[in-house]
Amino acid sequence: MANEKMFDTFTLPNGVTLKNRVMMAPMTNYAAEENGEVSEAELAYYVARSGGVGAVITACANVTADGQGFPNEFGAERDELIPSLKRLATTIQDQGAKAILQIFHAGRMAPPELVGGQTVSASAVAPEREGAMTPRALEAEEVEAIIEAFGQATRRAMEAGFDGVEIHGANTYLIQQFVSPHSNRRDDKWGGSLEKRLAFPLAVVDAVEAVAKQDPSFIVGYRFSPEEIENPGITLEDTMQLVDVLAKKGLDYLHVSVMDFFAGSIRDQNETRSPITLVQERVGQQVPVIGVGSLHTPEEVERALTEVPLVALGRELIMEPTWVEKVEAGDVASIRTELDPSTQAELVMPDALWQGIISRPGWFPIKQTTK
């Protein structure tokens, strides 16, 4: 196939040019050191996957101690971690990709044992999942402190030499919890109407951009989930209001987090168009849109690139670290499309990530071996 679009360069609004249109999606790998530093296993994992893509969006890094969302997650919440972050940024860049640090706060989705036994959120409303803790509602001054923490994490990313940051406003974490009418029942300036529920994410963007403007070439992106299945929950109409405002913020991209790029609404069966397409139609002329979700083949990536300028690949790069290089070389036939349980070392996969994948049926296609 011609792959006309995939290997075109792309210049972001701030003037930074990506060598191609494919990015590595942010994926947690459970492999950092206990103190929040990046481990040797993680560095090796990123070396293996940073050669072909135009940019790597890293696994999420928490901006406060009570924002950790996963065991063995590397952090960006204190200055002592800057040397560790610098190793990660340099490792990615040395392979030829731009390095973008994803920054977040898990909010009510944090494992209680990682955050001192008590989760926090916009309001004291538990997630709709079995055994979930009811979070403590953040005080107004705590909200302000977390906004400032996003700015400080951005400063650390800049000092560490990253090319940019991605604000993680997706996948049910704290920023999304403020947007959602399910998790945000506040009656102060941070909640109530949709406009007030959007105040927190917009304040985070402002805090990040206030720091990032010191270097005009520093990339700032924003990731969001366009809908929630909960009732009340975020609707596509809510999201269109969010992206209208984000598009005016001078961001370098919007990253739409869905499971399937081409699937329709998860709330409205009558809406068969992809939320990614709807976002592109709404604001794509103002800010670049990244699409993601079950793009397995070069043909699917090329099809997606007829709708948006950039795509991110996740599971494909876990199963085949050199996916982009193989497509570029015309070696599509050798691309791995399932995980062989005997290939952990060959795929440079940290132990915890490997075990998580192998023990979770249906997450990845696993090659069945005959005894």
- Among candidates 259, 219, 266, 216, which has minimal Cα distance to 239? 266
Nearest 10 degrees: Cα torsion 62, 64, 66, 70: 10
- Catalytic-role residue among 30, 45, 46, 173: 173
Measure Cα distances from 12 to 106, 151, 250, 306 in Å: 28, 21, 11, 18
Q: Can you tell me the mean pLDDT for 150-173? A: 98
Measure Cα distances from 335 to 26, 45, 158, 160, 366 in Å: 21, 18, 35, 34, 14
Find out whether 279 and 239 touch, Cβ atoms under 8 Å. yes
How high is the pLDDT of residue 371? 53
Tens-digit pLDDT profile for residues 33-51? 999 999 999 999 999 999 9
How high is the pLDDT of residue 368? 81
Q: Can you tell me the mean pLDDT for 263-292? A: 97
How high is the pLDDT of residue 2? 58
Q: CATH assignment of 10-329?
A: 3.20.20.70
* Residues across the chain: 371
Q: Can you tell me the mean pLDDT for 282-288? A: 98
Q: What are phi and psi of 59, to 5 degrees?
A: -55, 155
- For residue 30, pLDDT over 60 is answered with yes
Q: How many Å apart are CA 270 and CA 177, to the nearest integer? A: 26
How high is the pLDDT of residue 370? 60
Tens-digit pLDDT profile for residues 114-161? 999 999 999 999 999 999 999 999 999 999 999 999 999 999 999 999
Tens-digit pLDDT profile for residues 287-332? 999 999 999 999 999 999 999 999 999 999 999 999 999 999 999 9
- For residue 3, pLDDT over 90 is answered with no
Q: Can you tell me the mean pLDDT for 248-255? A: 98
- Token digits for 224? 């969001």
- Token digits for 96? 């030829």
Active site residue 173: yes
User: Could you tell me the pLDDT band of residue 276, with boundaries at 50, 70 and 90?
Assistant: very high
Share the mean pLDDT of the chain: 96
Tens-digit pLDDT profile for residues 64-101? 999 999 999 999 999 999 999 999 999 999 999 999 99
- For residue 249, pLDDT over 80 is answered with yes
Q: Find the radius of gyration of the CA atoms of the chain.
A: 20
Find out whether 103 and 167 touch, Cβ atoms under 8 Å. yes
Percent above pLDDT 90 for the chain = 95
- For residue 176, pLDDT over 90 is answered with yes
- β-bridge mates for residue 291, sequence order: 311
